């Protein structure tokens, strides 16, 4: 009887975790060709253009009679094979960049969107103008201004185009705030079941959790200390983990930035590889299309 119960338990767990790849599979490698403005933040991919966009962060100068208080941060464009194409100054201290499949817009969310650290110009959510070839023009349009619903000033929100929601990870906690993209209102809060995952909050990336748009595997977060990507569902229940290669070198900065999720891949910045670092895109679920 005990053997039957044990087998049922193993089969049950296999069914739960079957879709999460036990080992993350490297699919894309982007070696940075230009020095980041300060440090790279997140990555976006536009399928129709077959281009990746990597956004840097960096606060704007205080401003003076000769210089406007506009961030010098760059957004770097690469083709789908990882070949460098161009770098553009859009004027934002980028925290998240993503392609909104509902509006067909490349979009950036800035540092301090919540205005927690006080209001500054060019703060909020902005769509980035592209030419027909998918090249950044350096101009933009405001989608929404600062919004306290996002919580922490340093949060790197991800976007779920299926639900039209933002997920804003809160620092030093298991909390994820859910914001409706239509009206900007908070519609919920998720507490990640870290106990079942066998981790503490300070093992994980502090500001970023990915929206995967995969049913039952909606959220993915980097476990920096144990070199793995943890998967949770929309209610915060632990689903499984995908182990990263043992030779990837993660640093303290990976707790705070150098992350992304796009083109069904979880991107991680390996600062130690190449002159300016390298991004790897990992497949972590068999449900990724």
Look at residue 10 in the predicted model and tell me its pLDDT. Answer: 41
Whole-number average pLDDT of the chain: 92
Compute the average pLDDT of residues 128-143. 97
pLDDT range class, residue 64, cuts 50, 70, 90: low
Q: How far apart are CA 225 and CA 248, in angstroms?
A: 12
Q: How far apart are CA 98 and CA 151, in angstroms?
A: 20
Residues 108, 128: contact at Cβ < 8 Å? yes
Compute the average pLDDT of residues 200-205. 98
Q: Residue 6: helix, strand or coil by DSSP? A: helix
Q: Is 72 left (phi over 0), alpha (psi -120 to 50) or beta?
A: alpha
Within a 13 Å sphere around the CA of 13, how many CA atoms are in the beta-carbon half? 8
Those residues whose C-beta lies under 8 Å from the C-beta of residue 203, and which sit 6 or more positions away, are: 223, 224, 225, 226
Q: What is the DSSP letter of 204?
A: B
Q: Is 204 left (phi over 0), alpha (psi -120 to 50) or beta?
A: beta
Q: Residue 2: helix, strand or coil by DSSP? A: helix
Compute the average pLDDT of residues 187-213. 98
Look at residue 132 in the predicted model and tell me its pLDDT. Answer: 96
pLDDT range class, residue 67, cuts 50, 70, 90: low
Beta-sheet pairing, 219-223 with 228-232? antiparallel
Q: What is the DSSP letter of 39?
A: E
Query: Where do the domains of the chain lie, and which CATH numbers do they carry?
Result: 26-61+71-285 (2.115.10.20)
Look at residue 177 in the predicted model and tell me its pLDDT. Answer: 98
Residues 78, 84: contact at Cβ < 8 Å? yes
pLDDT at 147 over 60: yes
Q: How far apart are CA 273 and CA 248, in angstroms?
A: 9
Between 263 and 120, residue with greater pLDDT: 263
Look at residue 68 in the predicted model and tell me its pLDDT. Answer: 59
Helices (H), the chain: 2-17, 194-197
Query: Is the model's pTM score more than 0.85?
Result: yes
For residue range 13-49, list pLDDT tens digits in order. 444 455 999 999 999 999 999 999 998 999 999 999 9
Look at residue 20 in the predicted model and tell me its pLDDT. Answer: 98
Residues 150, 179: contact at Cβ < 8 Å? yes
Residues 97, 56: contact at Cβ < 8 Å? no
């Amino acid at each position: 009887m005990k053997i039957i119960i044990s087998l049922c338990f193993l089969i049950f767990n296999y069914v739960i975790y079957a879709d999460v790849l036990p080992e993350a599979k490297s699919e894309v490698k982007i070696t940075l060709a230009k020095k980041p403005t300060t440090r790279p933040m997140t990555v976006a991919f536009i399928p129709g253009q077959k281009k990746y966009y990597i956004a840097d962060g960096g606060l704007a100068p205080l401003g003076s009679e000769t210089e406007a208080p506009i961030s010098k941060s760059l957004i770097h464009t690469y083709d789908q094979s990882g070949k460098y194409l161009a770098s553009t100054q859009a004027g934002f201290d980028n925290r998240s960049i993503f392609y909104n499949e509902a509006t067909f817009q490349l979009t950036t969310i800035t540092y301090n969107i919540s205005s927690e650290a006080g209001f500054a110009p060019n703060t909020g959510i902005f769509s980035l103008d592209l030419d027909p070839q998918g090249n950044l023009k350096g101009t933009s349009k405001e989608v929404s201004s600062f919004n306290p619903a996002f919580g922490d000033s340093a949060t790197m929100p991800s976007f779920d185009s299926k639900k039209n929601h933002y997920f804003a990870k809160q620092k030093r906690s298991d909390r994820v705030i859910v914001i409706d993209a239509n009206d900007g209102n908070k519609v919920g809060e998720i507490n990640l079941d870290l106990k079942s995952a066998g981790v503490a909050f300070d093992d994980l990336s502090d500001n970023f959790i990915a929206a995967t748009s995969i049913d039952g595997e909606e959220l993915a977060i980097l476990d920096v200390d144990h070199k793995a990507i943890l998967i949770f569902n929309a209610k915060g229940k632990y689903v499984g983990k995908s182990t990263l290669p043992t030779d990837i070198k993660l640093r303290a900065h990976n707790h705070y930035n150098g992350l992304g999720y796009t083109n069904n891949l979880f991107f991680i910045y390996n600062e130690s590889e190449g002159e300016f670092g390298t991004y790897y895109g990992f497949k972590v679920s068999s449900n990724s299309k």
